[in-house]
Amino acid sequence: MYMKKTLIVANWKMYPLDEDVAVELATKVEQGIKNVEGVEVALCPPFVYLIEIKKHLAKASLGAQNTFWEQEGAYTGEISPAMLKKLGCSYVILGHSERKNFLGETPEMINQKVRAVLAAKLIPVVCIGEKKRLKGAIRAELEWQMKGIFKDIPSSAISKIVLAYEPEWAISSQVHAQPATPQDCKETISFMRDALKGLWDETIAKNMTILYGGSVNSSNIKEFLLEGNAQGALVGFASLEAEEFIKLVGNLIK
């Protein structure tokens, strides 16, 4: 299969509470990964820390956790892809399940955001995933999410998108969360590629970068890549502790 660099996206969510802690975490991670080859690491802190953290990154890229679907205008409280681009961001996480569940984001809204992010020349990291661990029903749900999110996006733009398979039941903050098995991951990613073939074509289905997210840590990362066929990971909790996150990235090249 066509292989790009392994991509590890650190989603810090709404942590930490203090800027000095955020800067310390970013600085330690930057130091710890600076000699790692073949892995792209993107740190996605809360918006308020982006400017300061950017100053401390060289090897790691910067990303945001959300954005709006217009570049400028009377949209109180929103932050646009054009603004994020100017701050030095390269990635934007879109459609995270926490945004769907707490803020009611729909596939239609995410579709507009994907377009705006691509227009600003940023890379969208688009999350899809089912709520419950139910065999069978998962496929229809994931296909429905992909159809809505990618509606009418031209194939020339699709190749720039990163998809993240993030089953909600596997996210560490959920009660009784447990990571997907590498087999779950492999089967779902293979299904996603089949669905992408139906939505576009074989080349796009084959070349799309697909990450796995959900309770990824330094001990299990490798199995998601080797056995689960993921091309990287979207990491929450394990990205908030520098030593653990550096170990996670380092384990990829061991």
Q: How far is the CB of 102 from ligand 13P (least distance, A)?
A: 13
Q: Which two tokens stand for residue 5?
A: 């660099």
Is the CB of residue 146 less than 8 Å from the CB of residue 199?
yes
The strand pair at 91-94 and 162-165 is best described as unpaired
Q: φ and ψ at 219, to 5 degrees? A: -85, -30
Annotated catalytic residue within 40, 56, 96, 98: 96
Give the x/- contact pattern for ligand 13P in 153-182, rule: CB under 6 A.
-------------x----xx----------
Given candidates 213, 224, 249, 252, which one binds ligand 13P under the rule CB under 6 A? 213
Q: How many residues bind ligand 13P (CB under 6 A)?
A: 14
Given candidates 61, 67, 111, 215, which one binds ligand 13P under the rule CB under 6 A? 215
Query: Which ranges in 47-125 belong to alpha helices (H)?
Result: 50-54, 81-87, 97-103, 107-119
Residue where the block lists tokens 């227009």:
119
Active site residue 176: no
Q: How far is the CB of 155 from ligand 13P (least distance, A)?
A: 27
Chain-centroid distance, C-alpha 101: 17
Rounded Cα distance between 164 and 214, Å, is: 10
Which residues neighbour 133 within 8 Å (Cβ) at sequence distance 6 or greater? Answer: 167, 169
Q: How far is the CB of 181 from ligand 13P (least distance, A)?
A: 15
Residue 46 binds ligand 13P (CB under 6 A): no
Q: How far is the CB of 76 from ligand 13P (least distance, A)?
A: 26
Binding region for ligand 13P (CB under 6 A) out of 35-43, 139-147, 221-229, 232-240: 232-240
The strand pair at 209-213 and 162-165 is best described as parallel
Residue at shortest CB range from ligand 13P: 236
Binding region for ligand 13P (CB under 6 A) out of 111-119, 194-202, 233-241, 245-253: 233-241
Q: Where are the beta strands (DSSP E) in 133-214?
A: 162-165, 209-213
Q: Is the preceding peptide bond at 16 cis, omega within 30 degrees of 0? A: yes
- Residue numbers 47-106 binding ligand 13P by CB under 6 A: 96
Q: How far is the CB of 26 from ligand 13P (least distance, A)?
A: 17
Rounded Cα distance between 106 and 116, Å, is: 16
Active site residue 96: yes
Active site members: 96, 166
Report the interface residues with ligand 13P, using CB under 6 A. 11, 96, 166, 171-172, 213-216, 234-238
